Amino acid sequence: MTGQPEWWQDFFSGLALDFVRHSRDEEDTFAEADFIQEALELPEESSLLDVPCGGGRLTLEMASRGYRVTGVDLSPDLIADATSQIDVERSSVTFEQRDMRDLPWQEEFDGAFCFWSSFGYFDDAGNLAFLKAVHNALKPGASLVIDTPLIETRLPEMESQERVWFPVGDLLALEERGFDHVNSRVESEWTFIQGSQVEQKLLSLRLYTYRELCAMLEEAGFGNHQAYGSMDWEPFELGATWLYMVTTKI
């Protein structure tokens, strides 16, 4: 034990927080919400869990479509952002600051989603704890929707894109990527630039192969996996750049 904070305890602040707030637009949000809605196939008033919810982008969009949605995130700044956007008449939204590995609910939700590369923050034990916590929170037969990179999707891209710039308004973000093959983690150094202000942050994401991810989901109690390579419902296969997984509580 070094006593040093985990990367995710420090990353979502300062310019990095501004980047997270503004790097997805309405078109992205609508497309992702359409996919989640179609994947879950639930009637209005169904209860959904968004974990981690970040600033509530998808939580609020799904609530606007008639669902009762609970968003969970560890970041107090992101939860504050999310809460500030709740309309006084929109009582179907709840935000809670919690560790995604330790959720209090038992068979509470009709569906759940984990979007925007939010799976893989922890070590294997932590990632499994997260899946088990979501499994416990879901009603029997409910589904979880995950979007995530895999080793099969990310490593080919990294061969040609070790340095990637992301312009967001007047903010520039540079991601410099490396791969720790011993621990199967993408280790990224992010540099955020806005005017004369420069901040650097580290990000570490555990990548799994498709088979490893399925095995972990099954260990957590999920099955009947449906795997897609895009939000256009194309089957996941070699050459896909992302995985969209719909998996069911057994």
Q: Beta strands of the chain (E only): which ranges?
A: 47-50, 68-73, 93-97, 109-114, 138-148, 163-168, 171-180, 185-194, 197-206, 222-228, 243-249
Check residue 23 and give its pLDDT: 85
Task: Return d(Cα 140, Cα 109) in angstroms, integer.
Answer: 9
Lowest mean pLDDT among 6-20, 25-39, 101-115, 180-194: 6-20
86 pLDDT tier (thresholds 50, 70, 90): confident
Sign of CA dihedral 45, 60, 54, 209: positive
Q: What value, to the nearest 5°, has the Cα angle with vertex 178 and ends 214 and 149? A: 30
Phi, psi angle pair for 81, to nearest 5°: -55, -50
Task: For domain 7-149+208-249, give the CATH superfamily.
Answer: Vaccinia Virus protein VP39 (3.40.50.150)
CA–CA gap between residue 38 and residue 138 (Å, rounded): 18
CA 11 to chain centre: 15
Residue spans of the domains in the chain: they are 7-149+208-249, 153-204
Encode pLDDT of 125-146 as tens digits.
999 999 999 999 999 999 999 9
CA distance 84 to 28: 21
Please give the model's pTM, rounded to 2 decimal places: 0.93
CA torsion 72-73-76-81 (nearest 10°) is -70
